[in-house]
Amino acid sequence: MKQVRMIVMVMALMLLTLGVARAETLMMATTTSTDNTGLLDYLAPIFQADTGIELKWTAVGTGKALKMGENCDVDVLLVHAPAAEKAFIESGFGSERRQVMYNDFVIIGPAADPAKVKGMKVAAALKTIAGSGTKFISRGDDSGTNKKEISLWKASGMELPDKEAWYVQTGQGMIATIKVAEEMGGYTMTDRGTFIKYADTNNGNPPLVVLVEGDDVLFNQYSVLLLNKEHCPNARHDLAEKFADWMTSEKGQKIIGDYLMLNQKLFTPNAK
Amino acid sequence: MDFIAQGVLEAFRLLMLGDPQTWSAVRTTIGVSTMSIMASLVLGAPLGFALGYYEFPGKRGVRLLVDTLLSLPTVVIGLLVYAFITRQGPLGDFGLLFTMRGIALGQTLLGLPVVVAMTATAVESQDRRLRQTLLTLGASPGQVLLTTLAEARFAVALAAMAAYGRIVSEVGISMMVGGNIKWHTRTITTAIALETGKGEFGMGVALGLVLMFIAFAVNLLAVMLRRSSQR
């Protein structure tokens, strides 16, 4: 019997270490880019100091984040797929979309640039990569970046090369996908914020470099989505509203603009 | 290769300097896995014992089902639990999603078949003569049951260790149900998945070593308990 008592004691001690905190918490679903770049780690404490609201978030692809919003599992969304966001509101799941900040997408590849696409427009670059036999690595996970990439293939007048041997779909997050591209010596498309983070991890000298950038179609808008009160009566709409207000306020916007890595802005604030 | 060496150094640094994020993940892991293993044992040991001890119609079918459940992938369990506890699901009102209790629920489903199957096997394979000897000595059916139970305690302990190993090392359920939320539901395994996803391989290795330390400590505790019980 002695050992049973000891087990119970140990278990009780373990359970006591589970501190239960009860602050006002706002649950958000967001994309991997806002999390991996460290933006949210930097914003959340400031937001909490200003409003007393603790921000909790789960970082998934935009596709899954929208699904979580649809299921009312979160209170607010911070995502980057304008077309899908508008459809989300039209379907009656969301009530409001507020643009917060942008960065841009870039096509990156080996510094040697085997397909010779440096400086091209996106459509020309994709066509060239498709005909060159070099690999193109795609997220393939229905994230905001993946949705954008699919639209770019279509815009360049090609079918999505879904079954082509040179088109590799990882189904993983952005940096994991960049790593795959690095290993395979191929090209991939990423948002600039995540690329800067990746460059920073490689001490500012990454194996893959930006080759295609600055084309208007590469613009990447991030927005806060508020959920529909009728569809999700239990979500904390009041806190979500406060978060949206704070993110688009002068202070929130300044803080986003002040977040630098390798002396570069990761996100540019552009609330209306 | 160098990130493995980096990871080993990093592991010591994280634990020695008490890195708050690492300790938060350690606390979450220990807390959740404790809840899960307790629930698995409380539910699983009696079920497993009954399955091994009593004869009833359909017993073979139940055994087959339990053994099949042993190979259910953790992501599938995570998905099933998510389907039930999402706001739109039948248990949506309990607010279990993105909580430690939610993860524990999923992990209990993972540990339960292990405990049931191993306990049942142990009870079945107990020396057949035990029962006859007891009856010959004039034991009542109740006493026979109690003695068999006492004899099965080591099997249950062994089952507990095996189930704990599965629970503490899974990532699918924690990720799907817990959502990997910093300071709340980020366990060591989801933190490893996150760090490798971010390309921080050294950190991933370090956290892996931290998890091994915990497993080592738990096993050491088990050995000590066994020693003290054999005296």
pLDDT in tens, B119-175: 999 988 887 778 888 888 888 888 888 888 888 888 888 899 999 999 999 999 999
To the nearest whole number, what is the mean pLDDT of chain A?
91
Residues 6+ apart with CB under 8 A from A178: A108, A188, A190, A194, A195, A198, A208, B199
Closest alpha carbon within chain A to B202: A201
Spatial separation of the C-alpha atoms in residues B129 and A177, rounded to whole Å: 61
What is the per-residue pLDDT for A95? 96
Average pLDDT over residues A24-32: 94
Determine which of A51-55, A148-152, B179-183, B223-227 has the lowest per-residue pLDDT on average.
B223-227
Task: Give me the mean pLDDT over the A78-86 stretch.
Answer: 95
Say whether residue A122 is in contact with chain B using an 8 A CB cutoff: no
- Report CB contact under 8 Å: A3, B228: yes
Tokens, residue B1: 């290769």
What confidence score (pLDDT) does residue A13 get? Answer: 53
Q: Do A257 and A269 contact (CB within 8 A), yes or no?
A: yes
Residue A23 pLDDT exceeds 90: no
**Which residues in chain A are contacts of B221 at CB distance < 8 A?**
10
Q: Which residues of B touch A3 (CB under 8 A)?
A: 225-226, 228-229
pLDDT of residue A6: 60
What's the N-to-C CA distance of chain B in angstroms? 47
* Confidence at residue B219, expressed as pLDDT on a 0 to 100 scale: 86
Q: Distance between CA B92 and CA B94 in Å, rounded?
A: 6
pLDDT tens by residue, A131-175:
998 999 999 988 999 999 999 999 999 999 998 999 999 988 899
Q: Do A11 and B38 touch (CB under 8 A)?
A: yes
H/E element, A173: none
Shortest alpha-carbon distance between residue A18 and chain B (Å): 6
* Chain B, nearest residue to A12 by Cα: B34
Q: What's the mean pLDDT in B184-188?
A: 94
In A15-44, the residues whose Cβ lies within 8 Å of chain B are: 15, 17-18, 27, 32, 36, 41
Question: In this model, does residue A1 exceed pLDDT 90?
Answer: no
pLDDT at A19 (0 to 100) = 41
> What is each CA distance from A198 to A122, A202, A209, A213, A262, in whole angstroms?
22, 6, 10, 17, 11
Residue in A18, A37, A177 to test binding to B, most B beta-carbons within 10 Å: A18
pLDDT at A31: 92
Nearest to B31 among A18, A27, A73 (CB): A18
Mutation target vs B (from A11, A14, A203; most B CBs, 10 A cutoff): A14
User: What is the pLDDT, as a whole number, of residue B165?
Assistant: 92
pLDDT value for B231: 62
Q: What is the pTM of this model?
A: 0.80
Q: Give the separation between CA A154 and CA A240, rounded to whole angstroms.
A: 35
What is the DSSP code string of A96-161?
EEEEEEEEEEEEEEETT-TT--TT--HHHHHHHHHHH---EEE--S--HHHHHHHHHHHHTT----
**Cross-chain residue pair B180–A14, CB shorter than 8 Å:** no
Name the residue with tokens 């688009």: A248
Are B49 and B149 contacting, i.e. CB atoms less than 8 angstroms apart?
Answer: yes
Tokens coding A112? 């040697």
Q: List the single residue in A with minimal CA-CA distance to B183.
A: A56
Q: What is the pLDDT of residues A185-241, one digit of tens each?
A: 999 999 999 999 999 988 889 999 999 999 999 999 999 999 999 999 999 999 999
- In this structure, of A71-80, A181-190, A241-250, B194-203, the range with the lowest mean pLDDT score is B194-203
Q: Is A167 left (phi over 0), alpha (psi -120 to 50) or beta?
A: beta
The answer on pLDDT for A7 being more than 70 is no
* Chain B: residues touching A (Cβ < 8 Å): 27, 30-31, 34-35, 38, 86-88, 92, 97-98, 100, 179-182, 184, 196-200, 221, 225-226, 228-229
Label residue B10 by pLDDT band (50, 70, 90).
confident
Q: Is A176 near chain B, with CB under 8 Å?
A: yes
Q: How many CB atoms lie within 10 A of CB A209?
A: 16
Task: Name the burial class of residue A165, with classes exposed (0-12), middle (13-18) and buried (19+) by CB atoms within 10 angstroms of its CB.
Answer: exposed
Among A16, A28, A32, A56, which would you mutate to test the B interface (most chain B Cβ atoms within 10 Å of its Cβ)? A56
Sequence-distant (6+) residues with CB within 8 A of B181 are A56, A57, A58, B98
Chains A, B: CB contacts within 8 A come to 69
State the nearest Cα–Cα gap between B102 and chain A, in angstroms.
13
- Nearest Cβ partner for A73 among B34, B38, B97: B97
**A230 burial level (CB within 10 Å; 0-12, 13-18, 19+):** exposed
Which residues of chain B neighbour A201 with C-beta distances below 8 Å?
198-200
pLDDT of residue B4: 86
Tens digits of residue pLDDT in A149-158: 999 999 999 9
Closest residue in chain A to residue B100, using alpha carbons only: A18
pLDDT at residue A10 is higher than 80: no
Give the pLDDT confidence score for residue A209 in this predicted structure. 97
**A16 pLDDT exceeds 70?**
no
CA B204, CA B192: separation in Å to the nearest integer? Answer: 5
Helix segments in B54-200, DSSP class H = 59-69, 74-85, 100-124, 128-136, 141-151, 153-169, 172-173, 188-197
Q: Which residue has the higher pLDDT, A58 or B87?
A: A58
Cβ contact, residue pair A11, B199, below 8 Å: no
Check residue A219 and give its pLDDT: 95
Q: What is the pLDDT of residues B76-135, one digit of tens each?
A: 999 999 999 998 889 988 989 999 999 999 999 999 999 999 999 998 888 777 888 888
What share of chain A in percent tops pLDDT 90? 81
CB contact under 8 A, B199 and A178: yes
* The predicted structure's pLDDT at residue B201: 83
CA count, 13 A, side-chain hemisphere, A28: 29
In chain B, the percentage of residues whose pLDDT exceeds 90 is 53
- Residue B200 CB partners (closer than 8 Å, separation 6+): A201
pLDDT at site A20: 41
Q: Is A234 exposed, middle or buried (0-12, 13-18, 19+ CB in 10 A)?
A: exposed
- For residue A9, the model assigns a pLDDT of 58
